[in-house]
Amino acid sequence: MKLFQEIESVRNYVLKQKNQQTVGLVPTMGALHNGHLALLKAAREENDIVICSIYVNPTQFNDKSDLEKYPRNLEKDLELLDEVGCDAVFYPSDQIMYSLGKDQMLKLDFGYLDQILEGQYRPGHFSGVGLVVTKLLNIIQPRRAYFGQKDLQQLAIIRRLVQEFLIPVEIISVPIVREASGLALSSRNQRLNQEEKQLATQLYKSLLLARQLYEKGQSTNQATQQAMQQLSHYSTIRVDYFEAVRLSDFRPIQEEIGQGESIAFCVAAYVGEVRLIDNIIYPEQNHQ
Ligand code: AMP
């Protein structure tokens, strides 16, 4: 008879006994692009079965018009998913995901993590994200789930969720996929006109500048100030925040931190009417 005291070891034991095939889940809101496909390719390499969910989760939208204008293209998505060898797609309705009605929705509180940056500017957003991701993980019960570093704070929230509720899944993070111009791929880019798209590349440029200044010895504060200054030259860009956080716990950096600590500069800004987010990690790495 075996005796286990560690969660990890008992789970591995159970998994082995069941002789299960591994399932990799890639949660998305559709309007798929190469960023999503990078997650799917990673899942394809590491799992026997790959499942993609497509669900535009209403409870994570704090702005009604953002939800209404969110791009949707199921037919094209299914073609792309077929091409990358995805085995199954989960495409639920609101009725299935929120059978009790959205007004009955459970609220999740992540403490400081949902009060800062995206949480501050999008109240309730991470509660909705946490809820839908928990539902998806419970429905699919994957061995691994894949998320992009593009949504770095979301990644911290999901890691917290999985840790707190002891959800038996490995969270895998995948680096940001960018256009040649540096613009981070996003479904929302479809809503930019040519001129705005060109302008949106300034976000990545400002992140590069901040990282470069920090690398050369400036404080995170000085680096963010200068990056903001650079962005302020463009009247079509309206910055919500530009902040440095410590990568290990996603705490905003108030004072200078120890050498060797990884940090991220995070930006959110409107380009015209479209709100975009981006980030950059220092030192450069694949944040696991
Ligand atoms: P979304 O459909 O926007 O909810 O994104 C679904 C997943 O794809 C999330 O984990 C995102 O972080 C990830 N993702 C979106 N854009 C990118 C990108 N440019 N590079 C890498 N991952 C991305």
Q: What is the pLDDT of residues 138-166, one digit of tens each?
A: 998 899 999 999 999 999 999 999 999 99
CA-nearest residue, atom 14 of ligand 1 = 148
* Residue keyed to tokens 């995901």: 97
Mean predicted confidence (pLDDT) in 86-102: 90
- Residue 78 binned pLDDT confidence (cut-offs 50, 70, 90): very high
pLDDT of residue 14: 66
DSSP type of residue 42: H
Mean predicted confidence (pLDDT) in 19-35: 92
pLDDT single digits (tens) 167-226: 999 999 999 999 999 999 999 999 999 999 999 999 999 999 999 999 999 999 999 999
Rounded to 5 degrees, what are φ and ψ at 173?
-105, 145
Pocket test for ligand 1, best of 151, 152, 279, 281 (most atoms within 8 A of CB): 151
**What are the DSSP E strand ranges found in 156-262?**
170-174, 237-246
CB atoms near residue 50 (< 10 Å) = 28
Look at residue 288 and tell me whether its pLDDT is greater than 50.
no
**Mean pLDDT over each residue of the chain, to the nearest integer:** 93
30 CA distance to ligand 1 middle (Å): 10
279 CA distance to ligand 1 middle (Å): 13
pLDDT of residue 179: 97
Neighbouring-strand partners of residue 23: 49
CB atoms near residue 288 (< 10 Å) = 6
- Residue 284 binned pLDDT confidence (cut-offs 50, 70, 90): confident
Cβ-contact 132, 143 below 8 angstroms = no
Q: Give, in degrees to the nearest 5, the angle at Cα 126 between 112 and 197.
A: 110
pTM of the model: 0.93
User: Hey, is 177 helix, strand or coil?
Assistant: coil
CB atoms near residue 82 (< 10 Å) = 10
Strand order in 23-28's β-sheet? 88-90, 49-54, 23-28, 144-148, 170-174
DSSP type of residue 18: H
- The closest alpha carbon to 26, from 34, 13, 38, belongs to 38
Look at residue 259 and tell me whether its pLDDT is greater than 80.
no
User: 125 CB under 6 A from ligand 1?
Assistant: no
- The closest alpha carbon to 165, from 146, 137, 125, belongs to 137
pLDDT of residue 11: 65
Pocket test for ligand 1, best of 25, 29, 33, 39 (most atoms within 8 A of CB): 39
CA-nearest residue, atom 11 of ligand 1 = 148
Exactly one of 33, 36, 125, 233 is catalytic; name it: 36
Mean predicted confidence (pLDDT) in 123-141: 95
CB atoms near residue 216 (< 10 Å) = 8
Look at residue 15 and tell me whether its pLDDT is greater than 80.
no
